[in-house]
């Protein structure tokens, strides 16, 4: 069983538009509301593919109650923890070419007592788990070392921890030797201070995260695919998406597929890319099921170090709120 923790869950509203024009009145072509948050999405993807999972979800206010209702309607196995604040809402504007613009609220602060209650809920559920996925941004006033502390608690019990976060929370988690980290391109560049312009740069940056403590690194590269670096080898993979709809949650679907396939080696990377590509072809943050997943669209081989990245990043360059088109393969 795979347990997920989402400290900063959300309601995700995705609005499909013809084109984004600042200051204009824009008519929506379609809209949908999904439960969100990185760990929540991992559990939703696993549920859609009949893989046992349980989600630990703090919630608050009307938005939080609506989030719990939506998850309940999907049939998600979850442990809910009421908190005093209000669950955040996020808005995504999706254009026909796959470009998405996201506006994410910061989320509600968790008090030390509330954080202890959430941690107790995770620990109580973890005895049935093979993996604990700690993912997503941290709410205000939550200490940066929260994921690192979870890694240390579970390591003694033989439970593997996967961490998917960014910034100081990722840096602190590396020192606790997580079994797996899944940075995207921006997070990998920020964590290493490297300019990532080619696959060779990505492989070297992933090696730095392993040297800092992570045992396995699954780096999702958006339109450029994904790189897997582990004790058993280094693989690069890519997958085609015929009609991209939304990249929201694609990286979470990728992580879910990787864990569902055993979290090791070429086969797991194929599954990760197939699940992530399927998510890009679906609206909003809908998670793919078996009918959506095409493993035959995935190609995995040794990385060519000189191959340039179409979305090369320099950590010194400010990031914008708009990502590029959600072209194949996925992984943001």
Q: What is the mean pLDDT of residues 204-232?
A: 96
pLDDT recorded at residue 321: 30
Asked if pLDDT for residue 275 goes beyond 60, the answer is: yes
Residue 180 domain flag:
yes
3-class DSSP string for 173-238: HHCCCCCEECCEHHHHHHHHCCCEEEHHHHHHHHHHHHHHCCCEEEEECHHHCEEEEECCEEEEEE
φ, ψ of residue 130 to 5 degrees: the values are: -90, -30
pLDDT tens readout for residues 103-151: 999 998 999 999 999 989 998 998 889 999 999 999 988 999 999 998 9
Residue 290 domain flag:
yes
CATH number at residue 242: 3.40.1190.20
> Taking Cα atoms as reference points, which of 185, 283, 285, 174 lies closest to residue 226?
185
8 Å CB contact between 24 and 153: no
* Percentage of the chain lying above the pLDDT 90 cut: 77
pLDDT recorded at residue 315: 63
Position 195 confidence tier, pLDDT thresholds 50, 70, 90? very high
8 Å CB contact between 129 and 2: yes
Asked if pLDDT for residue 254 goes beyond 50, the answer is: yes
Structure tokens at 25: 């009145």
Residue 323 domain flag:
no
Asked if pLDDT for residue 70 goes beyond 90, the answer is: yes
Residue 322 domain flag:
no
Is 313 or 130 the better-scoring residue by pLDDT?
Answer: 130
Position 157 confidence tier, pLDDT thresholds 50, 70, 90? confident
Residue 188 domain flag:
yes
pLDDT recorded at residue 57: 96
Computed over every residue of the chain, the mean pLDDT equals 90
Q: Point out the residues that are catalytic.
A: 252
Asked if pLDDT for residue 332 goes beyond 60, the answer is: no
Number of domains in the chain: 1
pTM of the predicted protein model: 0.89
Residue 332 domain flag:
no
pLDDT recorded at residue 330: 42
Asked if pLDDT for residue 317 goes beyond 60, the answer is: no
Segments forming the whole domain that contains residue 309: 2-313
Residue 134 domain flag:
yes
Asked if pLDDT for residue 327 goes beyond 70, the answer is: no
pLDDT recorded at residue 146: 93
Q: What is the mean pLDDT of residues 145-162?
A: 89
Position 322 confidence tier, pLDDT thresholds 50, 70, 90? very low
Position 30 confidence tier, pLDDT thresholds 50, 70, 90? very high
User: What region, left, alpha or beta, does residue 241 occupy, with left being phi > 0 and alpha being psi -120 to 50 degrees?
Assistant: beta
pLDDT recorded at residue 314: 63
Residue 328 domain flag:
no
């Amino acid at each position: 069983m795979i347990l997920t923790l989402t400290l900063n869950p959300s309601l995700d509203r995705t609005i499909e538009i013809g084109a984004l024009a600042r200051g204009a009145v824009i008519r929506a072509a379609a809209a949908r509301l999904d439960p969100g948050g990185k760990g929540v999405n991992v559990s939703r993807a696993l549920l859609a593919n009949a893989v046992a999972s349980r989600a630990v979800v703090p919630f608050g206010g009307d938005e939080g109650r609506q989030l719990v209702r939506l998850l309940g309607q999907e049939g998600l196995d979850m442990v809910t923890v009421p908190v005093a604040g209000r669950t955040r809402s996020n808005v995504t504007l999706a254009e026909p070419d796959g470009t998405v613009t996201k506006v994410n609220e910061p989320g509600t602060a968790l008090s030390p007592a509330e954080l202890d209650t959430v941690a107790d809920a995770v620990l109580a559920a973890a005895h049935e788990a093979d993996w604990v996925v700690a993912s997503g941004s941290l709410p205000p006033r939550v200490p940066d070392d929260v994921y690192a502390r979870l890694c240390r608690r579970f390591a003694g019990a033989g439970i593997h921890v996967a961490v998917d976060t960014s910034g100081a929370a990722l840096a602190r988690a590396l020192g606790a030797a997580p079994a797996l980290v899944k940075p995207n391109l921006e997070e990998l560049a920020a964590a290493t201070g490297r300019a990532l312009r080619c696959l060779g740069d990505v492989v070297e940056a992933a090696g730095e995260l392993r040297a800092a403590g992570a045992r396995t690194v699954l780096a999702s590269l958006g339109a450029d695919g994904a790189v897997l670096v582990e004790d058993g080898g280094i693989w690069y993979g890519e997958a085609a998406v015929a009609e991209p709809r939304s990249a929201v949650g694609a990286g979470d679907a990728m992580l879910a597929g990787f864990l569902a396939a055993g979290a090791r080696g070429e086969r797991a990377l194929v599954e990760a890319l197939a699940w992530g590509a399927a998510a890009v072809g679906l609206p909003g943050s809908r998670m793919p099921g078996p009918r959506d997943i095409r493993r035959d669209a995935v190609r995995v081989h040794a990385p060519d170090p000189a191959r340039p990245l179409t979305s090369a990043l320099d950590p010194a360059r400010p990031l914008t709120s708009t990502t590029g088109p959600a072209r194949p393969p996925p992984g943001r």
